Copies of this chain bind each other. A is one copy, B any other.
Amino acid sequence: MRALRKLGPGSGFDLVDIPIPEVGPDEVLIEVRATSICGTDLHIYEWNPWAADHVSPPITVGHELTGVVVDRGANVTEPEIGQLVSAESHVVCNICAWCRTGQGHLCPKTQILGVHRDGAYAEYVVVPAQNAWPDPPNMPLSVASLQENFGNAVHTATVPSVAGRKVLVTGSGPVGAMAIAVAKALGARAVYATDISDYRLDLATTMGADRTINPLREDVAAVIDEATDGEGVDVLLEMSGAPSALEAGFASLKPGGEAALLGLTSEKFPFDIDDNIIFKGATVYGIVGRRLWQTWLEMRGLIRSGAVDLAPVITHRFSLDDYEKAFKLMQSGECGKVIMFPDPTYADGPLS
């Protein structure tokens, strides 16, 4: 089969022929129909320091996908062969105290698809049966593929309480944009969104932001102060990992407010714990992955009911063969979610 792989240290990927992977007793083999690109994949493509530290080539990349189950191991009772599934990319141990108590997203033995084991940028991928999440047959493939990433947004927006609250989303890339839609669907009174890219602020508006703020042109805390009668927002959803966004976000948070942090800062930076957390009496939540499987159930409800429409987040589609064009576009930042199709006849929209 064809697979997009990182063959060794250094930038770039190679599209190569390798054998179809073998399926273990508790696993399923999925014929990939659509697979989407995440910022992490771009880091691996560019081979940044994080990638050099965490990824061991050779490996097939990619962790967001949808496809059809075509084979399964001896112990598997569901999903059925022929079932359309998306995949949870975190493979967990099921045995540790976290897995045993509904906190599998914190399993210390987590293996991530496309990072620690062969991933989804290929014609076929193998995942544990429990990681294969059944999708309804009428779900568009591009939407099905990005559920894994949507799950980050849902997790972030459901840990603090947003219903009836004023919410600031710092960082309006695809995950931030989806978090905006989730916050609105869950009853947020107002959602304010920041980004230094006007392209992304337009996306934020499309996804439901009541007010967008470009910190290159406006002072975030001042805008929030005016918009909230001097109180500040009830909830901060931090999706960017930029120190300046963290500063502006906490400065905009009201005393007693809640902050959920998803964006990775990648390195230590000077942080004012006194003003940002202690004097505020703030509650701060670190968010990683998706709650297994609470978040997937919540996603199902949000998508099936129509409460959240993910279509506007999907801006480009490519054949997997055109992966170079797809990753160049990702580098430009002038895009939302980018979907690749190993077999382009399954594309659910015009290819770029």
Which residues of chain B are within 8 angstroms of A256 by Cβ–Cβ distance? 98, 103, 106
Which residues of chain B are within 8 angstroms of A158 by Cβ–Cβ distance? 164
Most buried by B among A108, A255, A292, A307: A255
Known: A102-B102, A186-B164. A278 touches B273 (CB 8 A): no
19 further A-B pairs in the complex, CB-CB below 8 A; given A106-B255, A283-B286: A97-B231, A100-B292, A100-B293, A101-B293, A101-B297, A106-B256, A106-B280, A161-B161, A163-B186, A164-B298, A164-B301, A187-B187, A187-B307, A189-B305, A261-B278, A268-B270, A268-B271, A278-B288, A282-B285
> Is A287 part of the binding interface, using a Cβ–Cβ cutoff of 8 Å?
yes
Inter-subunit contact B101/A102 (CB<8 Å):
yes
Question: For the complex formed by this chain, how many copies does it contain in all?
Answer: 4
Q: State A301–B162 Cα separation when bound (angstroms).
A: 13
**A183 and chain B: residue at smallest CB distance:** B187
> Is A332 part of the binding interface, using a Cβ–Cβ cutoff of 8 Å?
no
Known: A255-B108, A281-B106. A301 touches B101 (CB 8 A): no
User: Would you give 9 A-B contacts (Cβ < 8 Å), ordered by A?
Assistant: A26-B75, A78-B95, A106-B281, A161-B161, A190-B305, A280-B288, A282-B286, A283-B284, A284-B284
Which residues of chain B are within 8 angstroms of A21 by Cβ–Cβ distance? none
A interface, CB within 8 angstroms of B: 25-26, 75, 78, 95, 97-98, 100-103, 105-106, 108, 158, 161-164, 185-190, 231, 246, 255-256, 261-262, 264-274, 276-288, 291-294, 296-298, 301-302, 305, 307
Q: State A280–B101 Cα separation when bound (angstroms).
A: 16
Which residues of chain B are within 8 angstroms of A187 by Cβ–Cβ distance? 162-163, 185-188, 307
Return A332 CB to nearest CB of chain B, in Å: 26
Which residues of chain B are within 8 angstroms of A297 by Cβ–Cβ distance? 97, 100-101
Which residues of chain B are within 8 angstroms of A274 by Cβ–Cβ distance? 264-266
Which residues of chain B are within 8 angstroms of A265 by Cβ–Cβ distance? 272-274
Inter-subunit contact A281/B105 (CB<8 Å):
yes
Q: State A271–B261 Cα separation when bound (angstroms).
A: 14
Inter-subunit contact A279/B286 (CB<8 Å):
yes
Which residues of chain B are within 8 angstroms of A189 by Cβ–Cβ distance? 301-302, 305, 307
Known: A256-B106, A273-B261. A164 touches B302 (CB 8 A): yes
Q: State A25–B76 Cα separation when bound (angstroms).
A: 12
Q: State A211–B102 Cα separation when bound (angstroms).
A: 31
Return A338 CB to nearest CB of chain B, in Å: 25
Return the contact of A278 from the options B97, B164, B262, B280 (Cβ within 8 A). Answer: B262
